[in-house]
């Protein structure tokens, strides 16, 4: 085992060399990038895949008979199959390219929602959701006359499963919950929650934005009806993501947007829609970034999602212990099952001040409401400071975080 190997066998120093952006000084301090839940860094193989597309194969997909278009189409569709296999989805037809999680949720709310949700129905979300898994459902409920209900949580940031069971009735048409909370890191028991929802005939959408970089996701084992995620959280490009949907549901849904590529034929009298997944992909897609996301999926699979999860569990437990031991720091979100997110408050100091001082020490964290204002309201805070880890983070970077929090306390103490 080399000196840079972690206890679970990841050669973190070697992996870090794939991420040149990690190797820089910020304000004359080595960068400790601990804002991975907002956006992760991008490794060279992803950058190379995008570059190769632009250098060699740049052209539109599904349209040209010429060589470049065929190469671009092959790479683009190959990337879709990579995502399909990564999620263990039964068919490539069930993988729709989106701009990210937000667009995936909006697609389901607009298309499935408008076709299936009526006045008197209920849509069930949770107290832990990101705004992108709240607002589209509020909009749907306003338009349809349906009622939005919310699964409550406890002080640790765990959803109350008995309350969830009580809220599930034959009126529940859809349940939309995240797999992992971005604000707190809670891992929700989505497999069990999906089974309970199915028992009352409800359809389930899982917001996988924060689960996808941290654990193996198997949509078949989960029996998820829809699963949405974003490329930039899993070391891929921004502006690309994917939505998995069960074929029977997708086939029965009306298109989301109209335009080129989503049609089989058009006359002024009648349009026949294209097959899955193209029915949901109007217009020229984000070709290069889809290819980049395929490369990101290859990259994490090569490391192994289980190895990533094991290493990050070690990091999280080290960070939790160190940060919790600092006098005047309150951890926010202490669920038993957590992914590598550490939200905290330095009591008496505004999180934006904490974030700014940490930045001066080279530590990049997120300070804010994390697009989860209802979670902040629950804890009676306007914002938190959030450190979030990826497999390329180290104990030394956590020590740097702890030292920087010490600086905050010196300045505000
Ligand atoms: N859901 C969760 C849990 C998230 O963390 C995020 C991103 N912060 C989103 C949804 C939205 O993702 P995107 O902005 O990439 O669409």
Instruction: Please state the domain extents for the chain.
Output: 12-30+304-412, 47-302
pLDDT tens for each residue of 176-202: 999 999 999 999 999 999 999 999 999
The two beta strands, 363-364 and 341-346, are unpaired
CA nearest 329: which of 397, 387, 391? 387
Judged by DSSP in three states, 286 sits in coil
Q: Among 102, 135, 178, 235, which residue has the most ligand 1 atoms within 8 Å of its CB, making it the best to mutate?
A: 102
3-state helix, strand, coil in the chain (%, to 5): 45, 20, 35
Asked if residue 277 has pLDDT above 80, the reply is yes
Quick check: CB of 36 below 6 Å from ligand 1? no
CA-CA distance, 102 to 110, in Å (whole number)? 12
CA nearest 399: which of 25, 41, 30? 30
Mean pLDDT computed over 120-148: 98
CA nearest 84: which of 279, 220, 282? 220
CA-CA distance, 40 to 196, in Å (whole number)? 33
Q: Following CA atoms 8, 11, 12, 15 in sequence, which dihedral angle do they give, to the nearest 10 degrees?
A: -130
CA-CA distance, 136 to 138, in Å (whole number)? 5
Beta-carbon count within 10 A of 382 CB: 13
CA nearest 182: which of 317, 297, 26, 342? 342
Predicted pLDDT at 331 = 97
- Average pLDDT over the chain, rounded to whole? 96
- Report yes or no: 259 and 281 within 8 Å, Cβ to Cβ: no
Mean pLDDT computed over 319-344: 97
Q: Tokens 């699979």 appear where?
A: 301
In the 8-state DSSP scheme, what is residue 2? -
CA-CA distance, 390 to 374, in Å (whole number)? 26
Predicted pLDDT at 7 = 66
Quick check: CB of 343 below 6 Å from ligand 1? no
51 alpha-carbon distance from chain centroid:
24
Quick check: CB of 41 below 6 Å from ligand 1? no
Percent of the chain with pLDDT over 70: 99
- pLDDT band of 258, cuts 50, 70, 90: very high
- Report yes or no: 236 and 36 within 8 Å, Cβ to Cβ: no
pTM for the full model? 0.98
Predicted pLDDT at 37 = 98
**CATH architecture assigned to 12-30+304-412:** Alpha-Beta Complex (3.90)
In this structure, which CATH number among 1.10.10.60, 3.30.70.1880, 3.40.640.10, 3.20.20.80 belongs to the domain 47-302? Answer: 3.40.640.10
Mean pLDDT computed over 37-60: 98
Asked if residue 80 has pLDDT above 90, the reply is yes
Radius of gyration of the chain (CA): 22
Tokens of 134: 């709240």
Asked if residue 1 has pLDDT above 60, the reply is no
- pLDDT band of 328, cuts 50, 70, 90: very high
Quick check: CB of 130 below 6 Å from ligand 1? yes
Predicted pLDDT at 4 = 63
Nearest CA to ligand 1 atom 14: 102
- pLDDT band of 6, cuts 50, 70, 90: confident
Q: Among 100, 129, 178, 286, which residue has the most ligand 1 atoms within 8 Å of its CB, making it the best to mutate?
A: 100
pLDDT tens for each residue of 370-389: 999 999 999 999 999 999 99
**Residues assigned a catalytic role:** 371
Judged by DSSP in three states, 362 sits in coil
Asked if residue 2 has pLDDT above 60, the reply is no
In the 8-state DSSP scheme, what is residue 43? -
- Report yes or no: 71 and 65 within 8 Å, Cβ to Cβ: no
In the 8-state DSSP scheme, what is residue 270? -
- pLDDT band of 3, cuts 50, 70, 90: low
Mean pLDDT computed over 299-313: 97
List, in order, residues 6 or more apart from 79 with CB less than 8 Å away.
290, 291, 293, 294, 295, 297
């Amino acid at each position: 085992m080399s000196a840079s190997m972690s206890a679970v066998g990841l050669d973190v120093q070697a992996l870090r060399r794939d991420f040149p952006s990690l190797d820089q000084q910020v304000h004359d301090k080595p960068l400790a990038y601990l804002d991975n839940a907002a956006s992760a860094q991008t490794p060279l193989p992803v950058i190379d895949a995008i570059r190769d597309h632009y250098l060699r194969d740049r052209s539109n997909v599904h349209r040209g008979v010429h060589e470049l278009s065929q190469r671009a189409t092959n790479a683009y569709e190959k990337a879709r199959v990579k995502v399909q296999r990564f999620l263990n989805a039964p068919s490539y037809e069930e993988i729709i390219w989106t701009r990210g999680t937000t667009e995936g949720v909006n697609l389901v709310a607009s298309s499935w929602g408008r076709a299936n949700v009526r006045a008197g129905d209920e849509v069930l979300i949770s107290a832990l959701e990101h705004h992108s898994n709240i607002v589209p459902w509020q909009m749907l409920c306003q338009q349809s006359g349906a009622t939005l209900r919310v699964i409550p949580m406890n002080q640790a940031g765990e959803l109350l499963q008995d309350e969830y069971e009580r809220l599930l009735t034959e009126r529940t048409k859809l349940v939309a919950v995240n797999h992992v909370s971005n604000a707190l890191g809670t891992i929700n028991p989505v497999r069990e929650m999906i089974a309970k929802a199915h028992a009352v005939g409800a359809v389930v959408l899982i917001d996988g934005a924060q689960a996808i970089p941290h654990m193996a996701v198997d949509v078949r084992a989960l029996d998820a009806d829809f699963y949405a995620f974003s490329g930039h959280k899993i070391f891929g490009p921004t502006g690309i993501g994917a939505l998995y949907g069960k074929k029977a549901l997708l086939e029965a849904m009306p298109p989301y947007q109209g335009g080129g590529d989503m049609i089989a034929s058009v006359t002024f009298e009648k349009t026949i829609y294209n097959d899955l997944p193209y029915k949901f992909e109007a217009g020229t897609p984000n070709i290069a970034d889809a290819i980049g996301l395929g490369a990101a999926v290859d990259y994490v699979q090569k490391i192994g999602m289980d190895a990533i999860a094991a290493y990050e569990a070690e990091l999280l437990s080290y960070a939790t212990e160190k940060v919790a031991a600092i006098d005047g720091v309150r951890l926010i979100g202490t669920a038993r099952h957590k992914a590598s997110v550490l939200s905290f408050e330095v009591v008496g100091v505004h999180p934006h001040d904490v974030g700014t001082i940490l930045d001066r020490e080279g530590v990049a964290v997120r300070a804010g409401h994390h697009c989860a204002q209802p979670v902040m309201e629950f804890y009676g805070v306007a914002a938190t400071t959030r450190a979030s880890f990826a497999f390329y983070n180290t104990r030394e970077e956590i020590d740097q975080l702890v030292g920087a929090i010490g600086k905050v306390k010196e300045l505000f103490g």
